[in-house]
Amino acid sequence: MKPEPGLELQGRYQLVERIALGGMGEVWRATDLRSGRAVAAKILRPELAGDEIFLSRLRAEAANSRGLRHPNLAVVLDSGERHGSGWIVMELVQGRALSDILAERGTMPPEEILPILAQVARALQVVHDSGVVHRDVKPSNILINREGLAKLTDFGISMGVNQRPMTATGMVMGTAQYLAPEQAMGNMATPSGDLYALGVIAYEALAGHRPFTGSTQVDIAFAHVNQPVPPLPDHLPAEVRE
């Protein structure tokens, strides 16, 4: 199944235009033909159709995010499969990724970034209370609308309670720059790891750079394990630096 304008999913959601492309899926703006409402449809990339590993991940993403309700989470509305492909239909968030904002501005003042972090933390509380670990909290997965409302998105590598692991023992899942030390060591991801990633985002937004760097993803991951967190700039309020 090749996503293209006019394609209908489940005879209900009609694709309009592609708005994002990820490693596993394409995100399309679509129209709910029953309500006329604009929605977002995440569809497995055509070259991955029939790949049971990626289909399983898409099913897990739908299962882990379905039923989660919070103002700071993008609501999942529907999901389905056809001809070896699959999709998730969700609330269309009109906003910019925090990663784009940081790339454009470099830093954000505490009074601007701290409310965003608080919103994401509240969303994570709901996620964790439901027994799910997000495992990929990073700026590109946080969308901010014009009113400053933050939405945590993309449960593509999340892990739920009693969910069978889809990765080999010791395999690292997540993005190295935001990876908690225990995950860098190949240990089980926990809710604390999501909060650690949120702390890295805070550091990046306040300092204008991430706390740990390296020439390879492995080097960056192990810097989280072996190096102390560098101090934040002196111009920031002391309580924020602490």
The enclosing domain of 188 has a CATH number of: 1.10.510.10
So what's the pLDDT on residue 174?
A: 62
So what's the pLDDT on residue 67?
A: 82
- Tokens 């990876």 belong to residue: 179
Number of domains in the chain: 2
pLDDT surpasses 50 at 232? yes
Among the candidates 91, 113, 134, a domain finishes at 91
Residue type, 116: I
So what's the pLDDT on residue 186?
A: 86
Question: pLDDT band for position 164 (50/70/90)?
Answer: low
User: 3 in a domain, yes or no?
Assistant: no
For residues 187-191, give the mean pLDDT. Answer: 91
Question: 129 catalytic, yes or no?
Answer: no
Tell me, yes or no, whether 115 and 211 share the same domain: yes
For residues 170-178, give the mean pLDDT. Answer: 66
What gap in Å lies between CA 68 and CA 88, rounded to an integer? 14
User: 209 in a domain, yes or no?
Assistant: yes
So what's the pLDDT on residue 97?
A: 95
So what's the pLDDT on residue 173?
A: 52
User: 195 in a domain, yes or no?
Assistant: yes
Tell me, yes or no, whether 43 and 101 share the same domain: no
Tell me, yes or no, whether 84 and 164 share the same domain: no
Domain that holds residue 148: 96-241
Kindly report the three-state secondary structure assignment for every residue of 164-212.
CCCCCCCCCCCCHHHCCHHHHCCCCCCHHHHHHHHHHHHHHHHHCCCCC
User: 1 in a domain, yes or no?
Assistant: no
What confidence tens digit (pLDDT) does each residue in 16-71 have? 999 988 878 899 999 999 999 999 999 999 999 899 988 988 998 899 988 899 99
What gap in Å lies between CA 155 and CA 135, rounded to an integer? 8
Average pLDDT taken over every residue of the chain: 91
Tell me, yes or no, whether 102 and 86 share the same domain: no
Tell me, yes or no, whether 167 and 148 share the same domain: yes
pLDDT surpasses 50 at 148? yes
Among the candidates 42, 74, 91, a domain finishes at 91
Instruction: Please count the other Cβ atoms lying within 10 Å of the Cβ belonging to residue 30.
Output: 27
Tell me, yes or no, whether 79 and 102 share the same domain: no
Tell me, yes or no, whether 106 and 223 share the same domain: yes
Tell me, yes or no, whether 74 and 128 share the same domain: no
So what's the pLDDT on residue 170?
A: 40
User: 39 in a domain, yes or no?
Assistant: yes
So what's the pLDDT on residue 172?
A: 45
Question: pLDDT band for position 171 (50/70/90)?
Answer: very low
Tell me, yes or no, whether 216 and 100 share the same domain: yes
User: 64 in a domain, yes or no?
Assistant: yes
Tell me, yes or no, whether 74 and 136 share the same domain: no
CATH number at residue 50: 3.30.200.20
Among 32, 100, 136, 219, the one annotated catalytic? 136
What gap in Å lies between CA 197 and CA 24, rounded to an integer? 21
So what's the pLDDT on residue 162?
A: 61
pLDDT surpasses 50 at 169? no
Among the candidates 58, 91, 124, a domain finishes at 91
For residues 110-139, give the mean pLDDT. Answer: 96
Tell me, yes or no, whether 100 and 202 share the same domain: yes
